[in-house]
Amino acid sequence: EEGVAKMKAALAARQDPTLVIVGRTSALRTSGIPDAITRARAYQQAGVDAIFLVGARTREEIEAVHAEVQAPLLLGGAGGELTDRQFLAANGVRISLQGHLAFQAAVKAVYDTLKALRTGASPSDLDSMLASAELMAQVTRRDDYGRWTADFLG
């Protein structure tokens, strides 16, 4: 009931019609498939745009929820048998987050770079590990930053 009330509050507060409101439940892990379905249905009836199924691990869980819920499904960090994109798409999954892979890759890159420098590598030895100037410009939005600086600071 509390979760439904929160979803209704979020839906009532939505000012931008393109903002997606997602009902989140971790009931698959805490209380099982039937409770997850009950919660997902309640969120769907409240009007959410999608259901975030935290902790989904098996095809059976996804199939069971999808059979009872029409809202699009989101998964968080699902692995193992839940990496088959065709299966997921056929069972209502529209977003399957990949955990913290990008963050983990960034941490490893920083670690490897600092370790190489600490053990005597020179900065020029690390050229193959570095982002190109073009990629840095894209990621840091250099052109936008330049335009904003001119627009706002003269």
- What pLDDT is recorded for position 154? 83
Global confidence as pTM: 0.71
> Taken in order 30, 31, 36, 39, is the CA torsion positive or negative?
negative
Q: What is the pLDDT along the chain (154 residues), one digit of tens a residue?
A: 999 999 999 999 999 999 999 999 999 999 999 999 999 999 999 999 999 999 999 999 999 999 999 999 999 877 788 989 999 999 999 999 887 888 899 999 999 999 999 999 999 999 888 999 999 999 999 999 999 999 999 8
9-12, Cβ contacts within 8 angstroms, sequence gap of 24 or more? 11/46, 11/47, 11/48
